[in-house]
Structure 1
Amino acid sequence: MAFLNSVLEPPSYGWTDEDGNLAKPTNGKIVKEFFSRLNVFKDKKNWLSFLSWLLVLALVPFLALFIFKYFSITGLIVAFVYSMIIMGTHGTIWHHRYCTHGAYTFSNKFWRFFTQNLTLKIIPEEIYAISHHVHHALSDQPGDPYNAQGGFMYCFLADVNHQPVARKMSEADYNRCINLMKHTGIKPNTYTQYQKWGTIANPYRTVAGIILNWGFWFAAFYLLGGPALACAVFGSAGIWAVGVRTFNYEGHGKGQDKRRDGIDHNRDDMSINQLWPGYVAGEWHNNHHLFPKSARSGFKAHQLDLAWCYIKFLSMIGAVSSYRDSKKQFLLEYCTVKPVAVPVVKYSQETKSLFEVE
Structure 2
Amino acid sequence: MAFIENVLEVPSYGWKTQDGQLSKPTVTQLFSEYLRRINIFASRKNWLPFFSWFCTLSLLPFAILFIFMEIRDFNVWYLLLGFIYGMIFMGSHGTIWYHRYGTHQAYRFSNNFWRFFTANLVIKLVPEELYIVSHHVHHSLSDEPGDPYNAEAGFLYCFLADANHQPIAKNLTEEEYAKAAAMLSHTGVKANSYQQYLKWGSIASPVRTMVATFANWAFWLTVFYAIGGLYLTAALLAGAFVWGLGVRTFNYEGHGKGENKQVVGHDYNTKDKSINQLWPGIVAGEWHNNHHLYPASARSGFLPWQIDFAWYYIRTLKFIGGVSSCRDAKQQFLEDYRKPYLEEMKQMKNVQPKPVVVPAKA
Could you say what secondary structure the match of 1:321 adopts? strand
**CA positional deviation for 1:69:** 3.0
Deviation per residue, 1:183-237 (Å, 9 max, x gap): 0010111111000000001000000001100000000010100111111111211
SS at match of 2:324: strand
SS of equivalent to 1:200: coil
* Corresponding position: 1:28 with 2:20: no
CA-CA distance at 1:241 after TM superposition: 0.2
Alignment of 1:67 with 2:70, yes or no, is no
Q: Determine whether 1:134 maps to 2:123.
A: no
* CA–CA separation in structure 2 for the residues paired with 1:272 and 1:235: 28
Name the CA distance, whole Å, in 2 between partners of 1:26 and 1:151: 10
TM-score, normalised by the number of residues in structure 2 = 0.92
State the TM-score, normalizing by the size of structure 1: 0.93
Letter of the structure 2 residue corresponding to residue 143 of structure 1: G
1:1-358 mapped onto 2 (5 Å cutoff) = 2-69=2-69, 72-337=75-340
Give the distance between the partners of 1:15 and 1:300, measured in 2 at CA. Answer: 36
Query: What is the deviation of 1:72?
Result: 2.1
Q: Determine the C-alpha separation between the residues in 1 that align with 2:163 and 2:340.
A: 46
- How far residue 92 of structure 1 moved from its aligned partner, in angstroms, is 0.2
Distance in 2, Cα, partners of 1:211 & 1:24: 37
User: Matched residues in 2 for 1:64 and 1:30: separation?
Assistant: 27
Deviations 1:236-273 (A, max 9, x none): 11111001100000000001000110000001000000
Q: Distance in 2 between matches of 1:295 and 1:151?
A: 30
Deviations 1:37-86 (A, max 9, x none): 11000011000000011111110111111111365211101100000111
Large movers: runs of 4+ above 6 Å:
none
Separation in structure 2 between the aligned mates of residue 106 and residue 302 of structure 1, nearest angstrom? 28
SS in 2 for 1:139: coil
1:228 & 1:215 partners in 2: Cα distance?
17
Per the alignment, residue 354 of structure 1 pairs with none
Aligned residue for 1:352?
A: none
Per-residue CA deviation, residues 281-321 of structure 1 (Å, 9 max, x unaligned), is: 00000000000000000001111111000000000000000
Query: How far apart are residue 176 of structure 1 and its match?
Result: 0.6
Please list every run of 5 or more consecutive structure 2 residues that lacks an aligned counterpart in the other structure. Answer: 348-362
- Residue 4 of structure 2 aligns with an amino acid whose one-letter code is L
**1:351 matched residue in structure 2:** none
The CA deviation at 1:337 is 3.8
Match of 1:355 in 2: none
How far apart are 1:28 and its partner, in Å?
1.0
* Structure with max Cα Rg: 1
Quote the Cα distance in structure 2 between the aligned partners of 1:150 and 1:217: 37
SS at match of 1:69: helix
Output the CA distance in 2 between the equivalents of 1:272 and 1:194.
37
Shift of 1:179: 1.0
Deviations 1:155-188 (A, max 9, x none): 1100000000111101111111111110001011
Determine the structure 2 residue equivalent to 1:348.
none
SS in 2 for 1:336: helix
Bigger mean CA offset, 51-60 vs 92-101: 51-60
Find the aligned partners of 2:282 and 2:54 in 1 and give their Cα distance: 30
Q: Separation in 1 of the partners of 2:69 and 2:321?
A: 44
Q: Aligned partner of 1:270: which letter?
A: K
CA distance in 1, matches of 2:83, 2:340: 41
Once residues 217 and 48 of structure 1 are traced to their aligned partners in structure 2, the CA distance between those partners, rounded to angstroms, is 22
